[in-house]
Amino acid sequence: MAKYIVKRVGLALITLLIIVFLLFVMVRIMPGNPFPSERMSAEQIANKRIEMGLDKPVLVQFRDYMVKLLQGDFGKGTSLYYGAPIKTVLSTCVQNSFRIGGLAILIGTAVGLLLGITAALNRGRFLDGFCTVFSIVGVCVPSYVFLIFLQYYFSYKIPYFPYFFDANRFLFSSILPALSLSLFTMSTVARFTRNEMVEVMDSDYVRLAESKGIYGPRLIRRHVLRNALIPIVTVLAPLIVDLLTGALVVEKIYGINGIGKLMVDAISGEGVDYNYVLALGILYSALYIGIMLAVDLLYGILDPRIRVAAKGDA
Amino acid sequence: MNEKAILELKDLDVSFRTNAGVIHAIRGVNLDLQKGETVAIVGESGSGKSVTMKAVTGLLDENATVNRGQIHYRLAENGKEEIVDLLKLPKKELRRRINGRHIAMVFQDPMTSLDPTMPVGKQIMESMLLYGGRSREEAKARALELMNLVGISDAEHRMKYYPHQFSGGMRQRVVIAIALSGDPDILICDEPTTALDVTIQAKILELIKDIQKRMGLSVIYITHDLGVVAKVADYVNVMYAGKIVEVGNVNEIFYDPRHPYTWGLLTAMPDMDTDDDRLYSIPGSPPNLLHEPKGDAFAPRNAFALAIDEKAEPPLFKISDTHYAATWLLHPDAPKIEMPPELQARLERERKEAAKYLA
Amino acid sequence: MDEVKLTTTSYVPEPGDFSFLSQQDMNVDRNFASMGYWKGVLIHFFRNKRAVTGLVIVLVITLLAIFGPLVSSYGYKEIVSAVNDAGKKVTAGSIPPQIPGLFGGRNVKPQFADRTFLFGTDTVGRDLWTRTWYGARVSLIIAFVTIIIDMIIGMSYGLISGYFGGMTDNIMQRIVEIANSVPRLVIVSVLAIFMPKGMGLVIVALLLTEWIGMSKIARAEMLKNKEKEYVLASRTLGARSFSIIFGQILPNTIGPIITQVMFSIPTAIFTEAFLSFVGVGIVLPQCSIGSLIEDGFNNITTLPYQILPPIIVLALLMLGFNFVGDGLREALAPKLEDM
């Protein structure tokens, strides 16, 4: 098992390194200058380039960047939040995004599982149909649309919730965005759980369990849920990444100072802020790869087919 | 109910609701099983043989409806004997009292019939712990015993294995051990060897036969393989389009078949000694039971079909005390038809062959 | 041999009943023979109410996207204006939906009281009916074009990778793995550095991300098919790899790929909408579903009617394509209970 984990982690790290390198090169080979240069003379530009280390070969620049990066230094923005270290800005944004995203994951997974299980146990009846319709709507309507409506009715028409995010009233002002964000996860989890359970309930091994006298909650717990829930880990992973990294539009609409909004600011302003794009790109990729890795390992622990194979591997 | 019978199906009739309409899968099936006997149900896929047995074990899918019929089972419990109609028992009670403990099942595909997330030992012990009144140690001891019985060596160690660590044949042995874990009186084997390699098939059949003898089980085989039937069965039921079209003991079916469908099945069996280089197959395919067949369901594929076959369904005609067949050819007014000459020659050959071995 | 009836039958045989039937057509299999694979798929698909609903929704919206702007008397970027009594030009800004004589028309400048604006107008005075369908057209074109290209790229990639296996497959799959580990947003943001905002950016972003899913499916299908007899047969006969991959196996894997296309199109529409909303997509006065939603959102507290048409069209499109995709998937691999 240890060998399996080491192998997985190693592969993930190599992938991440390649991506960081590619991102870095792309951002550096950009035409033009990564700073507002319209009013600068040629000499000033040249000086600025030397100051930023842009005159060195790309590989050397990459090495320097990596050394700083490993110390947690992302450098400074070129136009956005001029002068503030990216690290400081990023940490606030990450906190906000993660909290709201975490809340959304919690709500979405819990309610989604509940809905999916209820639907599967009532296959073909009203609750099943309700769950299907609910999950279709949840998947088809973007989360920001929900937020727009929630905001319009519960913050504007009936001013109960704050209209914009307020870090001082964190929990209260996270309810609307977290709720709207959770709907997609909820629907996906509900639909997947339902289908997965129905499939398992029709499987030969559940038949065999029934034919030896297992029934009711015991059958569901020991044979159905265990087999149906393992694959759910895989659909959850990309959903978690999406939610943690802040849903751009939701953050924009609700004025949340999160990584999503930061990304939007970095690319949609007048000039694109190269360093922020790079920092956020690395952050996003690292999160994505990290969570996928976690799921991989978790899957290995949960599913004996992989667990035992991995043991044999070692 | 017959005194020796342990299981008796009376006029069982089952249909399924589907998006395309109602499929009338079982159209009045009668069947007896005597204690210690082996009965085979033979037929093409879709003839309803599996559905019949699913009705017995209460494993019918949710879209199935039992229109009529009874399944009488002689339930021996706490030293008392009573006859229960399995179709009338609530599902919960069926699972608690009958499944596993009295009627157990071996499924077709051992690759899919074991829970992939549970060690096999646990799967064997599960129902023992639930119903057997055994302690964990006793259950474990019994599971080891069963694993040895079905021919899994190093059982102590392999109990902790997961299904995917076993080969197909080994898995089927585990499935059999699970089926035996509740000390059943009836073992239903749904194509137990179809998914296995030919070399393993014989071993598994031997195993079931051996266990049957030792534990005094009654066995029902569901199969399309007449080779299997010849090896194991005492009685044979030939099923076609949701009905039993011919029933008899194994000699009657193999040496004196009367229904043209049985003729077809026997002719279609590959035979080493034949001079004919063509492999026979019954023309056409089984009827689509979405549309109720009119008259004899086999008529469209029957070279000997009579005009009456299109008008009325044939009743079962008695040939001997144990042998019946549902074809109008047995009606006193019907033209006398002999079985096809190829088949006749073949049966003759086989009979001689058999005599040689006996001598 | 005495044969006795066991079960009774109500039928009393008539003379002539015991004559043989002629059996000329006995070898014709009427149950299965007449139905080809694709015909079966179509029958299944059209029997599925949800799939048909989805198809109808998609078709209706497509037709409206084509003909909606044509039947309108305004252009999509035309600012509707009229001359008032004082001889000055006034624009028809922020008019809620109105059909003269039926509804609306209150608090509207008198010059526009007799005009029809089914969805109202936006703040500058453009007709939202025209813009909504024009936007839907833009979104659909982007989605279709990119997904078709993605399908070709992804399919070829997956089929080739799966067919050759070994080292080729290994390298190609590592590339997929890396490409798959870059979140879509990161690709968009890097692109935003290279490219001007607008339709091109959206298309390239979609091209770079959506082929991965297709290639995975194509590869899986290839692995399933390549050991089959028909492939073996044509290989034995000396067919070249190219013709085996694209001539023999491709037609047998097209089903799942089309299904994937049906699921990718809503993803593309979704992505376009979201990029345009965020401000890196479609640029004014062009419009798409996403940019219309953004417009509507900016005025939601004062003119809430503006946001509804694009949102409803978006939701219906997503719904329609998802239904069609589900229906196709079920029709291609029918389960027994759906038969």
Q: CA of A197: how far to CAs of A230, B93, C116, C169, C329, in Å?
A: 11, 24, 52, 34, 19
Report yes or no: A211 and B57 within 8 Å, Cβ to Cβ.
yes
Q: What is the pLDDT of residue C2?
A: 38
Task: Sketch the domain layout of chain A as residue ranges.
Answer: 86-313
Tokens of B238: 């030939």
ipTM over 0.90: no
Mean residue pLDDT across chain C: 78
Name beta bridge partners: B249. B235
Q: What does each C-alpha distance from C328 to A134, A218, C37, C331 come to in angstroms?
A: 21, 36, 13, 5
Contact yes or no for A204 and B107 at CB 8 A: yes
Tell me what pLDDT residue A35 has: 62
Domains of chain C: 57-64+132-338 (1.10.3720.10), 79-125 (no CATH)
Average pLDDT over residues C126-155: 87
Least confident of A71-75, A92-96, A149-153: A71-75
Tell me, what's the pLDDT at A308? 63
- pLDDT higher at B96 or A83: B96
CATH topology of domain A86-313: MetI-like fold (1.10.3720)
Going by the DSSP 8-state scheme, the letter that residue C126 receives in this structure is B
In angstroms, the separation between the Cα of residue C143 and the nearest Cα of chain B is 33
pLDDT of residue C3: 41
Contacts of B13 (CB under 8 A, 6+ apart): B24, B26, B27, B28, B29, B66, B67, B68, B69
Q: Do B300 and C4 touch (CB under 8 A)?
A: no
The reported pLDDT for the residue numbered B219 is 92
Question: What average pLDDT score do residues C280-304 get?
Answer: 79
Overall average pLDDT of the C273-282 stretch: 78
Q: What is the mean pLDDT of chain A?
A: 81
Residue B268 CA to residue A262 CA, distance in Å, equals 74
Q: What percent of chain C has pLDDT over 70?
A: 85
Distance from CA of A141 to the nearest CA of C (A): 5
Entry pTM: 0.81
Average pLDDT of the segment spanning A259-272: 76
Any chains having at least 3 CB pairs less than 8 A from chain A are B, C
Q: Is the pLDDT of residue A253 over 70?
A: yes
pLDDT confidence bin for C25, thresholds 50/70/90: low
pLDDT over 90 percentage in chain A: 7
Work out the pLDDT band at B76, boundaries 50, 70, 90: confident
Asked if the Cβ–Cβ distance from B117 to A216 is below 8 Å, we say no
The answer to whether A211 contacts B127, with C-beta atoms less than 8 Å apart, is: no
| Residue C338, pLDDT score | 41
% pLDDT > 90, chain B = 9
Rounded to whole angstroms, the Cα distance separating B36 from B30 reads 19
pLDDT at B229 over 70: yes
Q: Would you call B18 and C337 a contact, using CB atoms and an 8 Å cutoff?
A: yes
* B108 and B188 Cβ atoms separated by less than 8 Å: no
Tens digit of pLDDT for each residue in B24-59?
888 888 888 998 899 999 988 878 888 898 898 888
User: What average pLDDT does the segment C262-284 reach?
Assistant: 80
C300–A148 CB contact, under 8 Å: yes
CA of C303: which chain A residue's CA is closest? A152
Whole-number Å distance between alpha carbons of A203 and A197:
10
Check pLDDT > 60 for residue C26: no
Span C53-67, average pLDDT: 89
Residues from chain A that touch B101, judged by Cβ atoms under 8 A, are 213
Compute the average pLDDT of residues A286-310.
79
Greater confidence, B210 or C224?
A: B210
Of A140, A268, A289, the CB nearest to C315: A140
Listed range (A31-45, A121-135, B75-89, B304-318) with the worst mean pLDDT:
A31-45
Mutation site for C-interface testing, chosen from B15, B16, B318 by largest number of C Cβ within 10 Å: B318
% of chain C with per-residue pLDDT over 90: 1
What pLDDT shows up at residue A34? 59
